Amino acid sequence: MAGFGTQAIHAGYDAKGNDDAVSVPIYASAAFDLENAVRGRDLAAGIENGFEYSRVANPTVDALERRIAALEGGVGAVAVSSGMAAVTYALMCAGEGGGRIVASRDLYGASVDALGDFLPQFGIHCDFVDDINDLDEVGALIGPDTRAIFAETVANPSTRITDIEPLAALAHRHGVALIVDNTIPTPYLLRPIEFGADIVVHSTTKGITGHGNAIGGVIVDAGRFDWANGRFAQFTTPQQVIADETGRSVSFAARFADQAFLRRIRIKYLRTFGAVASPFNAYLTLLGLETLPQRVARQVETATRVARHLTRVAHVVKVNYSGLGNTPQFALAAKYFPRGVGQVLSFLVDGDASNVRRILDGTRLFSYVPNIGDARSLIVDPANITHREVPAQTRLAAGVSDNLIRLSIGLEDADDLIADLDQAIAGAY
Ligand SMILES: *Cc1c(COP(=O)(O)O)cnc(C)c1O
């Protein structure tokens, strides 16, 4: 199989079928010609594969899905309009009908809100754990209604690493799925499916697109999980939207086998809730993916230099970056992240809120932005912005204290970034 850099440029697209266009064309078409009555009927029944209507599938989006599936080592993918659509669709698809999810508390703010406060309104409940790597704590919470375990592979902003392999083994012993959010590392730094994850979700808004110019998300399936194991009635009950050749209703598991989860996302979630990726955004993401390895490698190198420098700066009392050799997670970093843990890091400063404000206002090169994975370097105070809605106890368990500052390192020169932080911190006290 071709290497990662080659696949980032070529996987999932065939120029021959596209008038020899070397760059993936933007198919700005809401609908597609069904050609003839028999083909139209078979497309509508899902017996034949093809494009009908861009709420469900589109050729530009399809190329993106195939490329990300290849980069993650999955059997397929469904692209959606945002990372939060990817997170909630995946969690709902596993948990629908009264299921429970066991999840780390150390998650992106909107994911904490979804699991703790919003999905319960739809009958899906969450059991949060303080330490997702404590298998006794996680195992004790798995009950008859548990459907999935959910964690970020590298948490935002603590950069804590999830030990995926034993977590997947635990999940599978109980017949529940392991769903991971792999946004921070991107598949260049980590391919969770190789360590047993069943479903991988991304906010492609971040490192995958890489230029901060398109919101998007994707759900990738390893294709190994048995959704017909008795815990997931939604996959084994016949559905009116899918029929076999005789017109009889069939279940997702019976009809689609290793594509059952992705087909349910597409046919139920995209088709009814409609958070569809636009062809233009899919194109921007494909463009970003072409340079993913080069961008992320450079950002990791710079982030490591910045993190190391910050450990020696006055008023900085702690630096969170699992890529620094001295953290308690050194063994996990070495096992899962031989190429580094990513471009996000955070640091704690002394003083009070006014010092934090002066640092944020004092940077000239860093943009004050609640985003990560951009070509530009970004700075933010998570307690007030990205994790504002997260209850204080959960926030503190995730390491988000009031004096924490998060950085996302871009592609500028490391010396310029270090000089900017130095002058901002020195001027804030
Ligand atoms: C940004 C982010 C999300 C949400 O993605 P959007 O594209 O902003 O909807 C989910 N998970 C993580 C880890 C993120 O960083």
- Residue in the structure block whose two tokens are 């901002």: 424
- Amino acid 247: pLDDT: 79
Task: Tell me the CATH class for 4-287.
Answer: alpha beta
CA of 199 to the centre of ligand 1 (A): 16
- Amino acid 48: pLDDT: 85
Residue 217 burial class via C-beta count within 10 angstroms: exposed 0-12, middle 13-18, buried 19 and up: buried
Is the CB of residue 182 below 6 angstroms from any atom belonging to ligand 1? Answer: no
Is the CB of residue 209 below 6 angstroms from any atom belonging to ligand 1? Answer: no
**Closest atom, ligand 1, to C-alpha of 204:** 7
- Amino acid 176: pLDDT: 98
Is the CB of residue 82 below 6 angstroms from any atom belonging to ligand 1? Answer: yes
List the chain domain ranges: 4-287, 293-426
**Closest atom, ligand 1, to C-alpha of 155:** 13
Tens place of pLDDT per residue across the chain (429 aa): 799 999 999 999 999 999 999 999 999 999 999 999 999 988 887 778 899 999 999 999 999 999 999 999 999 999 999 999 999 999 999 999 999 999 999 899 899 999 999 999 999 999 999 999 999 999 999 999 999 999 999 988 778 999 999 999 999 999 999 999 999 999 999 999 999 999 999 999 999 999 999 999 999 999 999 999 999 999 999 998 887 778 789 999 999 999 999 999 999 999 999 999 999 999 999 999 999 999 999 999 999 999 999 999 999 999 999 888 777 788 999 999 999 989 999 999 999 999 999 999 999 999 999 899 999 999 999 988 888 877 888 788 777 888 999 999 999 999 999 999 999 999 999
Which residue has the CA at smallest separation from atom 6 of ligand 1?
A: 83
Which residue has the CA at smallest separation from atom 8 of ligand 1?
A: 83
Check if CATH label 3.90.1150.10 holds for domain 293-426. Answer: yes
Kindly report the number of other CB atoms within 10 A of residue 97's CB atom: 14
Is the CB of residue 84 below 6 angstroms from any atom belonging to ligand 1? Answer: yes
Torsion of CA 163, 168, 170, 176, to 10 degrees: 140
- Amino acid 11: pLDDT: 97
Whats the size of the chain, residue-wise?
429
Tell me which of 205, 218, 341, 390 to substitute to probe ligand 1's pocket, judged by most ligand atoms within 8 Å of the beta carbon: 205
Is-same-fold flag (4-287; 293-426)?
A: no
Is the CB of residue 152 below 6 angstroms from any atom belonging to ligand 1? Answer: yes
Strands 125-129 and 100-104: parallel
Beta-ladder partners of 96: none
Q: Which tokens hold the place of 174?
A: 């109980």
Strands, sheet with 316-320, edge to edge from the N-terminal-most edge strand: 316-320, 344-349, 404-408, 378-380, 367-368
